[in-house]
Structure 1
Amino acid sequence: MSRTVTISTVDYGEVTIPEPPWCTGEHPSDGYRIDISHYGHDVPLTIETSRGRVTAMTTALEQRPFTERHPGRGVFINVEIDGDHYPHDPDELHRLAAALNHHAQQLRVLGNELATLVQERQQ
């Protein structure tokens, strides 16, 4: 049996909805029904830099059961990049991964160019 949660809203009063098992249980109250969201745990995507490990982006499962906006009422992955959040459906998430692969290749090219310059300077 699924659990439910009751959330206080300014436009619909008390709203009781099923809560998915992955939801952390955080539901801000006194907002509008359309703003109700289920949030999963944050999954930080970290990278090693010359100054240590940093978070490049953070992802989390989310669902907005009353929204009419993209990506709809189903579960999606919210990706935080540079302080803003971008909802992704599966296809959009795959396109983001492909873009990151492209950027990784560009970094490899730059790394090779830098290695050549460093080597030339040492000679």
Structure 2
Amino acid sequence: MSRTATVRLADGTTVSVSEPDWCTGQHEDDLDLVDLSHDGADTVFLVDTERGPAQLFHAVVTQAPYSTHVEEHRTNVAVHLDNDYYRFRDVAALYTLADQIAEHAVQLRQLARHLDEIHHHGQ
């Protein structure tokens, strides 16, 4: 942690916090200190569709060092799925998610082959 950021808190005071190197330095003002988080760049997973790009999900490296929830003090990856954020603090769990997404891609390819067969048989 080589940088610091000054953030205005909800009570009108300011606080200087050390930032991890991966933090973008964008901090929301007017929050309570317990709600302050360090966030990396948002990684957005888009796919092209006939109606244009569509977002499957997005993920961000994050840490909330002052949270009342001690587990949020650890750096984690928050993945936005099904209208909510799911935090992956364990590297193995994040690899499992990646493997599951890869398995779904295999199933989608099977559907593509099935559609190709249907089209070739005139149905």
* TM-score range relative to shorter protein: 0.7 to 0.9
**How do 1:32-111 residues align onto structure 2 when only pairs under 5 Å count?**
32-69=32-69, 71-89=71-89, 90-111=91-112
The 8 Å contact of residues 71 and 87 in structure 1, kept in 2 or not, is answered as no
Q: Given residue 29 of structure 1, which amino acid in structure 2 is its aligned partner?
A: D
**Cα shift at 1:16:** 2.5
The 8 Å contact of residues 24 and 39 in structure 1, kept in 2 or not, is answered as yes
Secondary structure, aligned partner of 2:99: helix
Sequence identity of aligned pairs in percent?
33
The 8 Å contact of residues 44 and 59 in structure 1, kept in 2 or not, is answered as yes
**Cα shift at 1:70:** 7.3
Partner of 2:19: 19
- May I ask how many residue pairs the two structures share in their alignment? 122
Q: Given residue 49 of structure 1, which amino acid in structure 2 is its aligned partner?
A: T
**Cα shift at 1:116:** 1.7
Q: TM-score, normalised by structure 1?
A: 0.80
Q: TM-score, normalised by structure 2?
A: 0.80
Secondary structure, aligned partner of 1:95: helix
Secondary structure, aligned partner of 2:111: helix
1:22-78 per-position Cα deviation (integer Å, ceiling 9, x unaligned): 222221122211111011111212222233333222222211112243753122222
